[in-house]
Amino acid sequence: MHNKTGSLAVRSDPSARPISRYHSASYIGRVKESLTTRVSKFICAIFLTLLLCLGIVFFILWINLRPHRPRVHIRDFSLPGLGKSDGFETSHISFEITAHNPNHKVSVYYDTMEGSVYYREKRVGSTKLTHPLYQDPKNTSLIEGVLRGPTMVVNEDRWKQMGRDRNQGKVVFRLEVVSVIRFKVYTWHSKRHRMHANCYVEVGWDGMLLSGTKDKRCPVYFT
């Protein structure tokens, strides 16, 4: 519209509102909050990725280095004089077991080891088997034990019961080997574990180990 002087007059629109400082500050705040959120998510993603990688590394190390329990086999067991009526007075039991370390990179320390023989779940005798023993990975040790004299107690009634079992074809014993062991991985040593191995053995009429239980693997558990 032209005014009286011939110049153009500009009419303002009452509906158009100027941008206030409040709205400008709110927009900037939302931008800062969005950037902060993105940075936080990025840091969390990096942390979770590192945690996952560490978990995978530790899992692989655990699979490769985790200790496997030793394997125990009964190799020999004999009770000479089983057929003699008065054999309980001079009887003795001798046995041999093998302890195998199946680990590839883990060594085993045997701090103590004790063997006990049971007949019908009543202990016949007990003896210490070996001095402290160190076993390298993938190594097998032969361990021998003998029960006689004060380490073996067999009365006449129990001896007669063994004789009756012998006449039926076999006498069954249980050899329990209790060890205190530790594992070694490089320079790291584990805490002490009490290991039990139960070997069920059968001897024939001559008091010698029957072939059915020779080299039989003994169940092993920890307490």
Domain assignment present for 7: no
Q: What is the DSSP string of 3-58?
A: -TTS-B-PPPPTT--PPPHHHHHHHHHHHHHHHHHHHHHHHHHHHHHHHHHHHHHH
Provide the domain limits for residue 104.
71-222
42 & 75 share domain? no
Q: Which amino acid is at 51?
A: L
What whole-number distance in Å separates Cα of residue 133 and Cα of residue 179?
11
What whole-number distance in Å separates Cα of residue 195 and Cα of residue 214?
22
142 & 38 share domain? no
60 & 170 share domain? no
Two tokens, residue 181: 């062991």
44 & 150 share domain? no
Answer whether 119's CB lies under 8 Å from 84's CB: no
Predicted local confidence at residue 17, as pLDDT? 53
Q: Is the dihedral of CA 91, 112, 222, 220 positive or negative?
A: negative
Q: Report the pLDDT averaged over residues 108-117.
A: 97
What whole-number distance in Å separates Cα of residue 130 and Cα of residue 111?
9
**Percent of the chain residues topping a pLDDT of 70:** 81
155 & 52 share domain? no
Q: Torsion-angle region of residue 121: left (phi > 0), alpha (psi -120 to 50) or beta?
A: left
Instruction: Count up the domains in the chain and report the number.
Output: 2
pLDDT digits (tens, 9 = 90+) for 22-32: 555 565 555 55
**Which among 5, 40, 65 is the end of a domain?**
65
24 & 89 share domain? no
Answer whether 115's CB lies under 8 Å from 130's CB: no
Reduced to 3 states (helix: H, G, I; strand: E, B; else coil), residue 162 is: helix
Domain assignment present for 149: yes
| Secondary structure of 105-156 in HEC code, one letter for each residue | CCEEEEEEEEEEEEECCEEEEEEECCCCEEECCCCEEEEEEEECHHHECCCH
What pTM was estimated for this model as a whole? 0.72
Return the minimum-mean-pLDDT range out of 4-13, 46-55, 149-158, 201-210: 4-13
